[in-house]
A and B are shown apart, each in its own frame.
Chain A
């Protein structure tokens, strides 16, 4: 009892339990201190000056940057603090465009939300609008620097969590701005399109590149047959946009909604997730037994792929050559749909709904061009799907259930868990345990689950011990890449997902702070997996039907290689003519 350290917040005694600052302590007792620049997973920055508290004897300080000390007496809601916070908000708003009504971030904007919370009703300062051009060059992200409040969240998530550093502060004083190196277009920078900058941006300065209008146009066109694939993580997050809790499995409601909208076929990316497992496990076993390049990395995450191509080209040969489930689906649609719907490929519109902004970039890779046309026409994120439904007057929460279409809507539990960190690894183990180890009843591999940034596991297959690693956050992936490059990597198989938590934490998902909602979404996926009658990819009969019909009868065949595999290319960090010999 005596070694308990406590301090006082608004007269309430609070125990210090390893919190790194006063702000976390305040939140622990339910006092919501406003802030733009503080995120528990990022370094402390202290830039926005909103989280002010009064410490007796020390005056006003920003609570995010003061470590807790026993005995401190803190006040969070004095007249002076209220006045200061409101003033800070007024100053921020004075140099922010006043165009909320047409801003894509409106109603999700933290600037708006906190302005309301601290009670701004008037801006006493002269309005200054920054002049800055929008950067719409990226398939994934739209950058509107005029709306930037310089909180630095994007800069820190890009370098600290993703190890990329595409966005940085430049210039100074009133000219300060967050830009790419040399102010180059986003699509020419080292940006990997993960979108975590947009997911962390409190304003409309970084938003998702929307493809809603083009998609609706195609759905409304009677000449076109529209085919949708939906990724696993979408179903456990979209409900949040319609006032339902995170983690609710809305698969069947999404089918109803899309059909109502006029989509002709609603399928599931889980189908090709199962296919990926069959193909990728075959590749892994082949590498392992025939002296192929080891260790092997997974290849489902397009942000990870671009990261490796840009920052660690030496490990490209270690990455499975399998396309991502989205990529495989793109190919299967072009193979199977003409027969299913009786239309020509030119009249078939392939739409994917993803939790991910990088999938938009993936769909435009040269490798996915077939006969001069991209296999996938539109990629929408979960957020865009919600917006598309809302703009069409559809309330997901009120819809009845509809089953997915056959045959590309069939899936097993192994496909479902693809959406969460550790899921691909677990799905592979379910396959390998049976196919290689001969163990029929191995389904759940809980040792690969969790949210640690780098997790290790070991399994034994046929008397051989396999060392596995599961990483999320590209900075963590970078560490493993360095080990591979140095020849010190002790793992055999490594799963990489760029976004914290895996696809459930993708930047295309409804915006969520911290890990709480991500945890619920993960639980939602594991529950959906448990509910599946079939839980191993090799039990998905429809996958083998497609193999038999279009892909020479099985994995690793010539046709499978042609349609389900891809190639990677070394990329320059900055794609511009920067030849040092010319200066």
Chain B
């Protein structure tokens, strides 16, 4: 089963925007104002016909706009859908996919699923944490440039260990390669 999924994912050339809330807006460099973001949220609600049964797709889309789920926005969505804000908070805290904290500009995901773990994901995780000054409880850098997360399987076990930076999947990683990737991003960011 795992194998079949991984094949399919590899065919897609690992442009992973299917499951994870990677924000297209940020990565394409487009910065939205607060008013524009609210307009987007209204559009999302409209597209989903203000149906409380569409809560999860609504939150997924909202998270793409803000890169996380701010309380203010969850409360706004609750009012618009006429459901208790606590219900939305419940859904947002239940799924690992949703984030209640602002995320850094670049999102690094290191797979710690069985295959990746066996093939050495842990040393990569440690190397990236050390490189960025992050810990188990601190996942975003102070300059808001990077957020580091672990995931439990990306469906690309054939390439284990896998690390995803924003939308790009990097297979057969090593701690050195991971650090080099970060250095590269830092270079472009400074330029």
* Partner among A169, A183, A580 whose Cβ is within 8 Å of the Cβ of B73: A580
> Number of contacting residues on A, CB 8 A?
26
Asked if B50 lies at the interface with its beta carbon under 8 angstroms from chain A, I say no
Which A residues touch B19, using CB under 8 A? none
The closest CB in chain B to the CB of A581 belongs to B34
Cross-chain pair count, CB within 8 angstroms: 76
* Partner among B71, B78, B93 whose Cβ is within 8 Å of the Cβ of A170: B93
Asked if A171 lies at the interface with its beta carbon under 8 angstroms from chain B, I say yes
Asked if B134 lies at the interface with its beta carbon under 8 angstroms from chain A, I say no
Q: Is the CB of B94 within 8 A of A170?
A: yes
- Nearest CB in chain B: distance from A170 CB, A: 4
- Nearest CB in chain A: distance from B125 CB, A: 22
Q: Is the CB of B89 within 8 A of A582?
A: no
Q: Interface extent on B, as a size class?
A: 20 to 34
CA distance A583 to B38 in the complex (A): 9
Asked if B146 lies at the interface with its beta carbon under 8 angstroms from chain A, I say no
Q: Is the CB of B87 within 8 A of A168?
A: yes
The closest CB in chain B to the CB of A190 belongs to B84
Asked if B191 lies at the interface with its beta carbon under 8 angstroms from chain A, I say no
Q: Is the CB of A165 within 8 A of B94?
A: no
Q: Is the CB of A583 within 8 A of B70?
A: yes
Asked if A512 lies at the interface with its beta carbon under 8 angstroms from chain B, I say no
CA distance A399 to B106 in the complex (A): 75
Contact with A along B45-82 (1 / 0, CB 8 A): 00000000000000000000010001111111011000
CA distance A167 to B85 in the complex (A): 10
- Nearest CB in chain B: distance from A160 CB, A: 12
- Nearest CB in chain A: distance from B36 CB, A: 11
Which B residues touch A581, using CB under 8 A? 34-35, 38
A159-B84, A170-B93, A170-B94 given; A583·B35 CB < 8 A: no
The closest CB in chain B to the CB of A583 belongs to B70
Asked if B181 lies at the interface with its beta carbon under 8 angstroms from chain A, I say no
Stretch of A15-23, A127-135, A174-182, A234-242 contacting B (4+ beta carbons < 8 Å): A174-182
Asked if A166 lies at the interface with its beta carbon under 8 angstroms from chain B, I say yes
Which A residues touch B70, using CB under 8 A? 580, 583
Asked if A300 lies at the interface with its beta carbon under 8 angstroms from chain B, I say no
Asked if B29 lies at the interface with its beta carbon under 8 angstroms from chain A, I say no
Which B residues touch A263, using CB under 8 A? none
Q: Would you list which residues of chain A between 546 and 583 have a CB under 8 Å from chain B?
A: 573-574, 576, 578-583
Which A residues touch B86, using CB under 8 A? 165-168, 170, 179-181, 189
Q: Is the CB of A171 within 8 A of B38?
A: no
Asked if A164 lies at the interface with its beta carbon under 8 angstroms from chain B, I say yes
Which B residues touch A124, using CB under 8 A? none
Asked if A440 lies at the interface with its beta carbon under 8 angstroms from chain B, I say no
CA distance A579 to B66 in the complex (A): 15
* Partner among A170, A189, A582 whose Cβ is within 8 Å of the Cβ of B90: A170
* Partner among B72, B84, B85 whose Cβ is within 8 Å of the Cβ of A580: B72
Asked if B83 lies at the interface with its beta carbon under 8 angstroms from chain A, I say yes
Q: Is the CB of B73 within 8 A of A182?
A: no
* Partner among B34, B73, B75 whose Cβ is within 8 Å of the Cβ of A181: B75
Q: Is the CB of A580 within 8 A of B76?
A: yes
Q: Would you list which residues of chain A between 252 and 292 have a CB under 8 Å from chain B?
A: none
Which A residues touch B87, using CB under 8 A? 165, 168
Asked if A172 lies at the interface with its beta carbon under 8 angstroms from chain B, I say yes
CA distance A583 to B66 in the complex (A): 8
Q: Is the CB of A580 within 8 A of B38?
A: yes
- Nearest CB in chain B: distance from A580 CB, A: 5
Which of B38, B76, B87, B90 has the largest number of chain A CB atoms within 10 A?
B90
Residues of B within 8 A of A (CB): 34-35, 37-38, 66, 70-76, 78-79, 83-90, 93-94
7 contacts between A and B (CB under 8 A): A165-B84, A168-B87, A169-B94, A179-B86, A574-B85, A580-B73, A582-B34
Residues of A within 8 A of B (CB): 159, 164-172, 179-183, 189-190, 573-574, 576, 578-583
